[in-house]
Structure 1
Amino acid sequence: MSEFYRSYATHLHEVYHGRVYRIGVDGQFSCPNRNMDGSGGCAFCDGTGTIAAYQKPQDRLIEISHIGIEERISKIKMQIEQGKRFLKRRYRADMYSLYFQAYTNTYDTLEHLKMLYDLVLEEGPFVELIVSTRPDCITDEIIALLKRYQHSVQKVWVELGLQSGSDKTLARIGRGHDVFSYISAADSLHLAGIGVCTHVILGLPGEGRKDFAQTVAMVNRAGSEAVKIHNLHICQGTRLQDWYEMGEVGTASLRRHVEQSIWFLRRLNPSVVIERMVCETPEYRLVAPRAFPDKHQFLQQLKSTMEERGWVQGDLV
């Protein structure tokens, strides 16, 4: 553990004795919470599916239902090669994780998922397989499939989007699932020996410290091994943008997100790995906050604040 919180870089170095880099890929998945034409979805979703920055969002094909599985696999393999070239050139990387990042990466037939995961993992070696999805898109059959890949990589992870521990908030932002489905999915994944990383958002509409307390309690209850903390950010073409322009929603300043993050960290189990604490949405997609500093400034201020006050992750658990 680092001095103030358990950082992801420290965790990876302890486990793999070196730096591991994620290759984020878009498997051309869709989402059960969006309509066939791409509309709908969560209030914060702009339809890009958080595609990796070094990939090309414009290459995503819109009519997902018309794409053959072979073409999808071919596109993923191209993305892997592109990701390896970028990471080797920029970081001299030699250890990689395969990260199914965009949209809901278990939302497909079991046959397609098996074919896709099987063939894409042949592009390794990868030390980890990481699959990002929704709690309501985890079934016993999918868990059994993911468990098989524990023989192909050193660790299989599933990233679950919880966002909030409040069912009221989840309904407000149109998540389409409740907190129980998150707990149920996490418990089932853990029974299969699969790691869980939980996504949460601080500053969702109508939320305060009571709601943050519910969220951190759910993450602790689920035994999530890792967490990604996002500051609320508003993308173009979302319902959040409409609410923001009507003055119903605001975004946190650097100071406020530092304070909120520290409040959350102090109540989080000290063993939980912190994979992220600030969003890095490209400017061309972002409505607000426009003047938020980069993650290095944020982390510097967070660490200095915790040091000044003598606080560490989990000291209030």
Structure 2
Amino acid sequence: MQLTDFVNTIGKDLKNRYGERVHKLTLHGDFSCPNRDGTIGKGGCTFCNVVAFSDESQSKLSIAEQLTLRRNEVERRASKYLAYFQAYTSTYAEIALLSSLYEQAVAESNIIGICVGTRPDCVSDEVLNLLSSYLMRGYEVWLELGLQSANDKTLKHINRGHTFSQYESVARKARARGIKVCTHLILGLPRESDSDYQQTLKQVLEVGVDGLKLHPLHVVRGALMEKAWQANRLPVLSLEKYSQSALKLIQQTPTNIVYHRISATAKLTELIAPLWCEKRWPVQNRLCQLMSESGGQGYMLQPNLEIAHVSP
């Protein structure tokens, strides 16, 4: 069983549209974050220690050097790439600097587009106009928005620093310009349950979205949540619970929406809990098993369909 048997993945979508495999190459633009530098807050989101998710040493390299490094890691698996500005808030800079960095990325051979990871409160009309200019030049453009939850009480509790309405405004503006929006959601945030996850998905779908990323909450060294976990005040999801919760969301997602990720990992040197987040395959295999038994993406939207079982 493969994930693509059940889910419309970004890899599957890109291959269908470009006729060959396309890989994301992660880049570090040496950006900061307004929720860390004091502009809107200090300390960042309570779950955040970005060092656990990106290589800080990469920021010392030029965009061209980073692309060469990442391309060498996947050159046998792809010949076309998306430049993915992943670390921190990749629209949080003067527009001239953003233009320079994005331009350096698309100047490299075999780069067919850009993905930009950011916060909903850091996407101005100027940024949207800049991104749409790459669309006009024929590039693929994805705006990846870290929403995490549509519940404003949860967003305040985790010190996120923005509201759902800010997300909604930016998502609508971006899609009106033709920019594809990929929304990041976290399962397992404090005080949330399956009903909260499903309500978040419902609101995101109502606004309109092109892609989704699901992440299990995991506690990393240096995050504010580390103290709560150490004091036994922060439960984390088991692999089985996460798989069951993610399954419900996937089954309630229309099949035209692209999943960029169904889980996430962290290095064991940074990861505190849950330890199953160290590896990608256990949760992916479990989700494939569950979907083979009860239906894949969009199944709950078509309740009269029989389950198509896939043999291992």
Name the TM-score, length of structure 1 as normaliser.
0.88
CA distance in 1, matches of 2:162, 2:106: 30
The answer on 1:254 being equivalent to 2:233 is no
The answer on 1:313 being equivalent to 2:312 is no
- Partner of 1:24, secondary structure, is strand
Q: Which runs of 5+ in 2 are unaligned?
A: 302-312
Q: Tell me by how many angstroms 1:59 deviates.
A: 5.0
Point out the more displaced range, 249-258 or 294-303: 294-303
Conserved in 1, the CA contact under 8 Å of 2:11 and 2:23?
Answer: no
CA distance in 2, matches of 1:50, 1:254: 20
- Partner of 1:128, secondary structure, is strand
Query: Which residue in the other structure is 1:25 paired with?
Result: 27
Query: Which residue in the other structure is 1:150 paired with?
Result: 135
Query: Which residue in the other structure is 1:139 paired with?
Result: 124
Q: Tell me by how many angstroms 1:184 deviates.
A: 0.7
Aligned to 1:42, which of 40, 45, 48? 45
Point out the more displaced range, 121-130 or 96-105: 121-130
- Alignment identity in percent? 33
Residue deviations 1:230-281 (CA, integer Å, cap 9, x gap): 0111110111111111111122111111101011112222221111111111
Query: Which residue in the other structure is 1:99 paired with?
Result: 84
Aligned letter for 2:299? D
- Partner of 1:81, secondary structure, is helix
Query: Which residue in the other structure is 1:67 paired with?
Result: none
Query: Which residue in the other structure is 2:227 paired with?
Result: 242
Query: Which residue in the other structure is 1:284 paired with?
Result: 269
Residues 282, 95 of structure 1: alpha-carbon distance in 2 compared, 3 angstrom cutoff: same
CA distance in 2, matches of 1:35, 1:249: 26
CA distance in 1, matches of 2:101, 2:280: 34
Q: Which runs of 5+ in 1 are unaligned?
A: 62-73
- Partner of 2:300, secondary structure, is coil
Name the TM-score, length of structure 2 as normaliser.
0.89
Query: Which residue in the other structure is 2:215 paired with?
Result: 230
CA distance in 2, matches of 1:49, 1:183: 28
CA distance in 2, matches of 1:155, 1:118: 14
Conserved in 1, the CA contact under 8 Å of 2:35 and 2:42?
Answer: no
CA distance in 2, matches of 1:270, 1:47: 31
CA distance in 2, matches of 1:262, 1:82: 35
Aligned letter for 2:283? F
CA distance in 2, matches of 1:125, 1:4: 29
Aligned to 1:8, which of 7, 10, 13? 10
Residue deviations 1:175-205 (CA, integer Å, cap 9, x gap): 1000011111110001110000010000101
Q: Tell me by how many angstroms 1:153 deviates.
A: 4.4
CA distance in 2, matches of 1:169, 1:122: 41
Query: Which residue in the other structure is 1:68 paired with?
Result: none
Q: Tell me by how many angstroms 1:113 deviates.
A: 1.3
Residue deviations 1:119-144 (CA, integer Å, cap 9, x gap): 33212331121111110111111111
CA distance in 2, matches of 1:294, 1:186: 31
Q: Tell me by how many angstroms 1:219 deviates.
A: 2.0
- Partner of 1:312, secondary structure, is coil
Q: Tell me by how many angstroms 1:226 deviates.
A: 0.7
Q: How many residue pairs end up in the alignment?
A: 298
